[in-house]
Amino acid sequence: MLGFFTRIPVPQIEYTEERYVKGIPLLPFVGAVSGGLLWCVFQLSRWLPMPVVALLIFLAYLLITGGIHMDGLGDSCDALFSARDPERMLEIMKDSRSGSFGVLGLIAASAAYLILLSYAPWQAVLLFPVVGKVTPALSSNWAPYIRAKGMAELFCQNATKGVLAFDALLCIAAGFALGIPVGIAAVITLFACVALVLRVKHILGGITGDILGLACEVSQLIFLFVCVVFSARGLL
């Protein structure tokens, strides 16, 4: 799963659907490895100004993930803000070219990351990739997969309620282990993700792999935002 969802150098293991399905519940652990690496970058704040460290964290995040979820965010923005019918939205989402809404969405998300990471406490930096990796299973259980033979179909078919319960409880427990406000932020974020997915379901009729990327990125930004608010109020 590290080899599939990150660019972290790991021993190459032959991909099979069976191995992929078995690895689906382990996505939060992939997020934990990513978060641990980002936390190491955060330690540079001892010597560098925080805005510079925030930039380095964001660049490290893109390097670790290969921008896989940001790509989904851009494609989703192109489709959802096009004000077309659902069938046309799916066609737009599948188009490899980036439109104006996709570019604006990526710019807005990048700016949000840079600003929030400048103020985020270390707990938020450590946990936000874990929260993001829970959202695919969450999304799959709240909306049907509607892309015929899409790349994320296998994931959505096997991200069962049991997988969701395991991932969500693991994420929330990790949050509360880092502090009650962090756990509350995780809970708020997962509820916000459900609201986002239901809204997309209303517009599009269901989800695609790109929507999973959108849910991941938006949820991570929500989690960082809530943690920054709690930190500003002296709770973190």
Residue position matching structure tokens 């737009």: 92
What's the confidence (pLDDT) of residue 67?
87
- The whole-number pLDDT of residue 150 equals 66
The 3-state secondary structure of the chain, one letter per residue: CHHHHCCCCCCCCCCCHHHHHHHHHHHHHHHHHHHHHHHHHHHHHHCCCHHHHHHHHHHHHHHHHCCHHHHHHHHHHHHHCCCCCHHHHHHHHHCCCCCHHHHHHHHHHHHHHHHHHHHCCHHHHHHHHHHHHHHHHHHHCCCCECCCCCCCHHHHHHCCHHHHHHHHHHHHHHHHHCCHHHHHHHHHHHHHHHHHHHHHHHHHCCECHHHHHHHHHHHHHHHHHHHHHHHHCCCC
- Average pLDDT (199-212) is 92
| 164 located within any domain | yes
Q: Is the pLDDT of residue 13 over 90?
A: no
pLDDT score, position 10: 85
pLDDT at 17 over 90: no
> How many distinct structural domains can be found in the chain?
1
Domain-embedded: residue 159: yes
Summarised one tens digit per residue, pLDDT across range 162-197 is 999 999 999 999 999 999 999 999 999 999 999 999
Structural domain boundaries, residue 114 = 25-232
51 pLDDT band, cuts 50/70/90, is very high
Query: Does residue 167 fall inside a structural domain?
Result: yes
Q: Is residue 60 part of a domain?
A: yes
Residue type, 14: E
Mean pLDDT of 140-152: 84
Q: Is residue 12 part of a domain?
A: no
Report pLDDT for 111: 97
Percent of the chain with pLDDT over 90: 71
Residue 102 lies in a domain: yes
Identify which has the larger pLDDT, 41 or 149. 41
pLDDT single digits (tens) 129-143:
999 999 999 999 999
